[in-house]
Amino acid sequence: MTQTHDLSATRMATAVRTREVSPVELADHYLARIERLNEQVGAYVTVTAERAREEARRAEKAVTDAADPADLPPLHGVPVPIKDLNMVNGVRITFGSAVYADLTGFADDNVVAKLADAGTVLLGKTTTPEFGLPCYTEGDVSPPARTPWDTSRSAGGSSGGAAAAVASGLAPVAQGSDGGGSIRIPSSACGLFGIKPTRGRISQGPVIPDLFGLSTNGPITRTVRDAALMLDVMSGHMPGDLFRAPEPDAPFLSYADRAPGRLRIARSLQPPVPDVEVHPDCVAAYEDASALLEELGHEIVDLPQVLGSDLVPHFATLWGAMATMTPVPEESEHLLQPLTRHLRAYGDRTPAPKLFQAHAALQGALRAAFPVMDEFDAILHPTLAMPPVPIGYFHDLDPAENFRRQTHFTPFCAIYNISGQPAVNVPLHWNDEGLPIGVMLAGRLGGEGTLISLSAQLEEARPWIERKPAIWTA
């Protein structure tokens, strides 16, 4: 029997416009599921039930009053949560930190305004680790975000709550952000499709700076079409943004219905982080995806080593500097997590010349790498080097060992934050324990359309939408 949360977001938006389902019904359905099930998966830190119902009532009236409901915004009446690193005016924001447990947002992030203009209804704020720094979602202001495929294991991070919400049927789609893999990591751990767009595709403003261009917002969804539609809605350059992506030649949603043609796809199992052993389940997912791509007619070749382990300390230097960007009053520093204090101390010790040298070294490496990578339409890797890990696998350790484990868990993702290239997680594989194991496809700068077309082809060949964790039917 079909349940309301079985609908994709694109189908849901159509059902609203044709009056098959009302925005109020949708909001009530998801709020009821959140009330019953959120404690099991730790998806939401703040639920905006009263606001959601009011927005849903206004959306329903707009449908009733519309001369032609087809003219309503593309996600009119569809509930969408916002990650707790992104500010919503008048709504609590914690940044995943006890330091900000009682802060109320004083502006809308540009991506939040874009989603509101598209007609979405705000369900609440999804959990994130402190300042979005770790690749897992555990902290002091909310329960750990858990993958619904095995709630003893982490949903990943830093968009862990967003992925847990979508994978558990507590939201149809979710907004996330990605500075070192934070959309792709939880998408892999939760069996979802997620897009990290090209640098400058989605505005970081007006509050959050985009100094190094590592981080970007993006969609986390169950289907490729939903992600493409969300990317259309979220995209846009705003005054003051430091980066601007090439304009697409058509809406991203149209690429989901467009055959990719025969592509030249490189693949690599060699991570740029030294001494990483890729788990056999992740190797199996990678080899299976390679075989499927070849079966679909694409040319598959091995990627030469273009970016090496010498980049890791330079990325760590930037990451430490970014950890210092959120202001913390001296009297509140004791509230910070040990890992956050460790990273901020490293950032504070970094002199400006070293920071510029690290940034310059990364740019120099990319100048040599791009001519090689640009020979290919897409590049395939495992998304992660391990299946989803138990809660506490990182969090309960000494900060230095915690950070080392994180780099070994997710050694493939950050390269594409450094380069600014788009990259997606595709949920093609589940291991013998029933845990999702994603693969990552990266594209040329501005090449989201190609990745969407290719991913839609993979989705059609190996549909994953009917794979649902037990909580789905609860």
Q: What are the residue numbers of the active site?
A: 83, 158, 182
Length of the chain in residues, anyone?
474
Looking up tokens 């087809």 gives 70
Residues forming beta bridges with residue 146, ordered by sequence position: 154
The full DSSP string for 98-145 is: GGGTT-B--S--HHHHHHHHTT-EEEEEE---GGG-SSS---SSSPPP
Per-residue three-class SS string for 258-325: CCCCCCEEEECCCCCCCCCCCCHHHHHHHHHHHHHHHHCCCEEEECCCCCCHHHHHHHHHHHHHHHCC
Angle between helix axes 49-65 and 9-17 (nearest 10 degrees) is 50
Question: Among candidates 183, 193, 133, 131, which has minimal Cα distance to 161?
Answer: 183
| CA atoms within 13 A of residue 326's CA, in its CB half-sphere | 22
Work out the burial of residue 352: count CB atoms within 10 Å of its CB; fewer than 13 is exposed, 13-18 middle, 19 or more buried.
exposed
Rounded distance, CA 109 to CA 86, Å?
6
DSSP-assigned letter for residue 58: H
Distance of CA 141 to the CA centre of its chain: 21
The answer to whether the CB of 443 falls within 8 A of the CB of 450 is: yes
Is 361 strand, coil or helix? Answer: helix
**What is the helix (H) or strand (E) element at residue 245, kind and residue range?**
none
